[in-house]
Amino acid sequence: MKLIAGVDIGNSTTEVCIGDMQADGSIRFVSGASRMTTGTKGTPANVGGICAALEEAMDKVQRPVSDIHLVCLNEAAPVIGDTAMETITETIITESSMIGHNPSTPAGAGQAVGELIFLEHLGEGIKGQPYIVAAAAVHTYEEIAGQLNAHHGRLDIRGLILQADEAVLVENRLVFEIPIVDEVRHIRNIPEGKQAAIEVALPGQTVRMLSNPYGIATLLKLTPQETRSVTPIAKNLIGKRSAVVIKTPHGNIRENILPAGEIYLHGDREAMVNIDAGADKIMAALEGAGLIRDISGQADTNVGNMLSRIKIGMAEVSEEALDAVRITDILAVDTMAPVQISGSLAGETCMEKAVGIAAMVKTKQLPMERIARRLQRELMVNVKVAGVEAVMASLGALTTPGTQLPVAVLDMGGGSTDAALIECDGTVRTTHQAGAGELVTLLIQTELGLKSRISAEQIKKYPMAKVESLFHMRLENGQMQFFQESIDPRYFGHVVLLTPGELLKIEEDIPMEKIYNVRRDAKRKVFVRNALRALREVAPDHELKAISNVVLVGGSAEDFEVPEMLMEELSEYRIVCGRGNIRSSEGPRNAVATGLVLSYLGGK
């Protein structure tokens, strides 16, 4: 009876597995545990997390930690991942030429054209001239409606722009019908005396005339030249419930392409790619460059700064000289980020193009021996560094019922996606690719414009529902779920995440369908792309069809939809692919730790 512990230090969790060596030389697994990794993977700070996990595992079998005969640490792959995001376009409104937003309750419907006039100056209005009135929040709705009604017979009032949220209130008190746009925050910036077109969409629809360049041209009588210049305005108004376009001689809106810069790939072949080209081109260039030694960016550009930030960060955590840190792989993903338009009148946002990059840094050998010595001192048990991570993961994965050699193991963690292929003769090929769970979180956060990284992380992890009344909610797959007791009123009308045990509400006002699409897209862009990339790398002759079995392990394999996505994708190549079930009980976690315990058998 000898207790053997396997310890796997990952980027985000530290996992242990305890095996009991029987007299006949077989191993019986008795316990396991998982804890957050303390400090950066591969540094002596990890010892705290390891001790906690070991204690937890031994507590489960009511034995002291000192009963352990040997602790096996994995030879962690010396790669650390990081992610960054940069917008590469920017929209600027010069002068006040456009308002386009989604106030919750505009009023009236239809389009109108007229000269802008403030409510205070209605008395000076000229008969026969069509007007669009702008009213600040200092005037009450009674006052505004009264004034407009009083001038109605004399002046031709076509539309109304309000600062306060009172469109319906004013409309209900008007004796005539006009479209009304409200909640325009910076109403004083509206240029009086200019021609403007206003549009409010019918319920359930979005603006049609003002989101069409020819529509704007029709309403404001533009020349073909001017029509060309309003195209970006029209583009920005697509999908809005209400809009105002103001004809100013110099006013314009333009989309700036930021100096996003070029990426230099130093590999078997030198390659260079502009980040504007998009993620597909970048990835193609990366493939074309062969084995990568280092990747850098053009100095003083967004991407250059981004890559150097990653390197500086990595140099700090790995305590290496900056020039010794080399980026050996990147994964680029196209995305959109909602950014507030500079110069906007109502706080409008615009979806700007952005690129998300996960980079992987190869460091020198990680100081695993130092961790081992420190652990030995603290626990007073034997500790040894045994086995390469990928091999151990494969060994552990093979405890999944129904697997056989040759098998490919896809380890999807937080920072990197690793693949290993074991042939029947025992030869192993491995690869590490940048980009995994953390990049997905970053994509979700940017595309939905979430303030906190934590809520993005939770959106990634759990399915959603919308609380439609106090007694029922609609799940994301369309099903209804009813309750006997009322749901906590705080959740009313919110999109909630169904975490085990409690509901978590999403504070931002984003429709469930949009969150659903963004979440699935992000996972597909990162995991599916990376899985194919990694498997192709380890496959015989880089031919996916030559792989027959793929076992998914690692934290991200626990995701509720990623394994299904991969299964669908890989079934095209006739690959048997599924989530691992380590030791028939652990699910996709604990593969490396289990492998380490098993390796003790082989090592003996």
Partner 1 sequence: MEINEELIQAITRAVMKEIDKNGQSGGGSLTGKTRMMPKTSYKGYPQAVKGSDPKEVVIGVGPAFQKEIKATITGIPLDDVLQNIRAGIEEEGMVSRVVKVLKTSDVCFMGLEAAKISGSGIGIGLQSKGTAVIHQKDLYPLSNLELFPQAPLITLDMYRKIGQNAARYVKGEKVTPIESVNDPMVRAKFQVKAALMHIKETEQVDPEIPMIEWGKA
The residues binding partner 1 (CB under 8 A) are 104-105, 141, 165-169, 172, 468-471, 486, 489, 492-495, 509
Minimum distance of partner 1 from residue 105's CB (angstroms):
6
Name which of 338 and 406 has its Cβ closer to partner 1: 338
Minimum distance of partner 1 from residue 471's CB (angstroms):
7
Name which of 238 and 504 has its Cβ closer to partner 1: 504
Extract the runs of DSSP E, i.e. beta strands, from 88-174.
Answer: 89-94, 98-101, 110-118, 130-135, 156-162
Identity of residue 289: A
Minimum distance of partner 1 from residue 133's CB (angstroms):
19
Minimum distance of partner 1 from residue 489's CB (angstroms):
5
Name which of 327 and 473 has its Cβ closer to partner 1: 473
Name which of 486 and 517 has its Cβ closer to partner 1: 486
Minimum distance of partner 1 from residue 200's CB (angstroms):
14
Name which of 162 and 220 has its Cβ closer to partner 1: 162
Minimum distance of partner 1 from residue 493's CB (angstroms):
4
Name which of 506 and 550 has its Cβ closer to partner 1: 506
Minimum distance of partner 1 from residue 492's CB (angstroms):
6
What pairs with residue 578 in β-bridges? 551
Name which of 475 and 528 has its Cβ closer to partner 1: 475
> What is the CB-side half-sphere exposure of residue 42 using CA atoms within 13 A?
19
Q: Dihedrals φ, ψ of 93, to 5°?
A: -100, 120
What pairs with residue 290 in β-bridges? none
Coil, strand or helix at 183:
coil
Radius of gyration of the chain (CA): 30
Q: Which of 551, 562, 548, 546 is nearest to 587 (CA)?
A: 551
Minimum distance of partner 1 from residue 528's CB (angstroms):
32
Peptide bond into 406 cis (omega under 30): yes
Identity of residue 571: S
Torsion sign (Cα): 592, 597, 601, 604: positive
CA 87 to CA 85: how far, in whole Å?
Answer: 7
CA 192 to CA 173: how far, in whole Å?
Answer: 25
Identity of residue 241: R
Q: Which of 497, 493, 468, 494 is nearest to 481 (CA)?
A: 468
Within a 10 A sphere around the Cβ of 458, how many other Cβ atoms?
Answer: 17
Name which of 131 and 141 has its Cβ closer to partner 1: 141
What pairs with residue 90 in β-bridges? 256
Name which of 69 and 466 has its Cβ closer to partner 1: 466
Minimum distance of partner 1 from residue 185's CB (angstroms):
16
CA 42 to CA 566: how far, in whole Å?
Answer: 30
Could you tell me the CA-to-CA distances from 569 to 412, 469, 525 in Å, in that order?
A: 16, 38, 12
